[in-house]
Amino acid sequence: MAIEPTHDGAMIHGYQNNAYREDPVAAERDTRSSSAVALPEVAVHETTPLNSRATVWSWIRPKLWAVPLIYTQFWFSGVCSLMAPYFPGLAAKRDLNAWQYGFFFSTWKIGLLIGSILSERLTAYVSPKAGYLTGQVGLFIFTIAFGSFFWIQDGSTLLGLSITSAVYGGTVASMYTVSLYSMITSRFQDDAGLLIASMECLWGIGSMAGAVTGGALIDLWAYPLPFYVMGTLVLISFPFMYKMNPREERAAVQLLDEPPLQQPEVKYYRLLWDSFYV
């Protein structure tokens, strides 16, 4: 048995052939560390009282993106509710019959068809956000122009301009609606159904509020006032939507840009002479 000095002055007890060594200082240190109370391990992503607030905020923050959508949807439905109750009265004052100004509402449906086709192309080649913003600005222009029809005194001129504006208004309204639901389903995949149901509920509430508010504004001044006021309210959310972070939106666009699977070409027109189908 020999005693050897170490570099720090401690003595090591061991055999001459170094087959066995024992450092008393190291042994005591190991004993103390093993007797220490083990602290419970906490997972990095586990919710604790310290990080629960951050977890709630991380869940709420992505959904703040829907606030401008909800606001715009409310006033959009309010604007659309103004035409049916108030335009016929203006047309009747310009000596237009019911069947004449009824063409305005029929042409509006044609505009909806055109807008659905354009919005599908715009969503596929650009982004749903581009279609949404285009529809929002277009609806503002339509609303201001439609309110300005108040100063047209000739009935035939009013009829022609109203039918033309109906095509334009229906197109931009359809672009807005289709792009809205496209953004909801692409960005909020987990809560898309809840948000779509909320938008439909807002449509009904906004329609009722728009008709009542429009009547009060007409009594306050004249026919153009509700169109000017609500059209401006629709456009207020445009800067917020324009500056929204498009990261998740780009991911959705990339999914749309992926090459489709090779499928056999289907010619639907052949169903027209299929006796079983007809």
232 C-beta neighbours (distance < 10 Å), count? 13
Distance of CA 35 to the CA centre of its chain: 57
Q: What's the residue count for the chain? A: 278
| Whole-angstrom distance, CA of residue 194 vs CA of residue 198 | 6
Q: Are 218 and 93 within 8 A, CB to CB?
A: no
| Residue 256 pLDDT exceeds 60 | no
| Residue 137 pLDDT exceeds 90 | yes
Q: Are 86 and 214 within 8 A, CB to CB?
A: yes
Q: Are 70 and 197 within 8 A, CB to CB?
A: no
Running DSSP on this structure, what letter comes out for residue 44?
A: T
Amino acid present at 255: L
Rounded alpha-carbon distances, angstroms, from residue 219 to 86, 225, 227: 12, 9, 13
Rounded alpha-carbon distances, angstroms, from residue 183 to 33, 156, 189, 250: 57, 41, 10, 11
Q: Which domains occur in the chain, in start order?
A: 63-253 (1.20.1250.20)
Whole-number average pLDDT of the chain = 77
Select from 179, 70, 203 the least CA-distant residue to 127.
Answer: 179
Q: What percent of the chain has pLDDT over 70?
A: 64
| Residue 250 pLDDT exceeds 70 | no
| Residue 103 pLDDT exceeds 90 | yes
| Residue 38 pLDDT exceeds 80 | no
| Residue 237 pLDDT exceeds 60 | yes
pLDDT digits (tens, 9 = 90+) for 149-180: 999 999 999 999 999 999 999 999 999 999 98
Q: Which run of H or E residues covers position 11?
A: strand 11-14
